[in-house]
């Protein structure tokens, strides 16, 4: 029984540390402060940014905004969230555009992302870990 408790505590610490490590990345995920969301899974972030869903897990509408394709932060975000390079994600969007099925999220520089999220209640974006996110809510991105 004691060994089971040790395993349970160990598992909890591994999960907790992976969540903390996710937030010590080179980027932060931000939403409008009116959004009650405090955390979101990588899976949900991926689905929102690939426009496979138009809603946050809490049911509110979600409008993603991307950094430009040339941004090193976008490259880190793409690798971390999608498990693909930014160029592979761009290829995904090119297929959808060509087939007339969808268009990618708007691309803005970091200040543009911050302004977009501040002025849109349903917005979600990501910026560098060092960006001034005052007036926004930084959400924890978790594995689950």
Give 17-72 pLDDT, tens digit per residue.
444 444 468 999 999 999 999 999 999 999 999 999 999 999 999 999 999 999 99
| Average pLDDT of the chain to the nearest whole number | 89
Residues 6+ apart with CB under 8 A from 47: 53
- 40 forms beta bridges with 141
Task: Select from 3.30.1360.120, 1.10.150.570, 3.40.190.10, 3.40.470.10 the CATH code of 2-142.
Answer: 3.40.190.10
Instruction: Give, in order, the Cα–Cα distances in Å from 71 to each of 17, 39, 44, 79, 121.
Output: 27, 24, 22, 13, 25
- 124 forms beta bridges with 31, 64
Strand ranges across the sheet with 137-142: 39-41, 137-142, 27-31, 123-128, 63-64
Q: Please count the other Cβ atoms lying within 10 Å of the Cβ belonging to residue 57.
A: 15
Contact between 136 and 33 (Cβ < 8 Å):
yes
5 pLDDT above the threshold of 50: yes
Global pTM reads 0.82
pLDDT at site 125: 98
């Amino acid at each position: 029984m004691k060994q089971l408790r040790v395993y349970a505590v160990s598992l909890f610490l591994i999960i907790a540390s992976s969540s903390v490590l996710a937030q010590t990345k080179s980027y932060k995920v931000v939403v409008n402060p009116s959004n009650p969301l405090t955390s979101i899974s990588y899976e949900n972030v991926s689905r929102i940014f690939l426009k496979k869903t138009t809603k946050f897990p809490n049911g509110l509408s979600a409008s993603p905004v991307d950094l430009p394709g040339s941004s090193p932060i976008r490259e880190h975000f793409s690798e971390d969230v999608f498990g693909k390079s930014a160029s592979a994600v761009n290829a995904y969007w090119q297929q959808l555009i060509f087939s007339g099925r969808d268009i990618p999220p708007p691309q803005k520089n970091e200040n543009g992302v911050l302004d977009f999220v501040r002025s849109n209640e349903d917005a979600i974006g990501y910026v560098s870990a060092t960006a001034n996110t005052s007036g926004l809510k930084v959400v924890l991105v978790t594995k689950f």
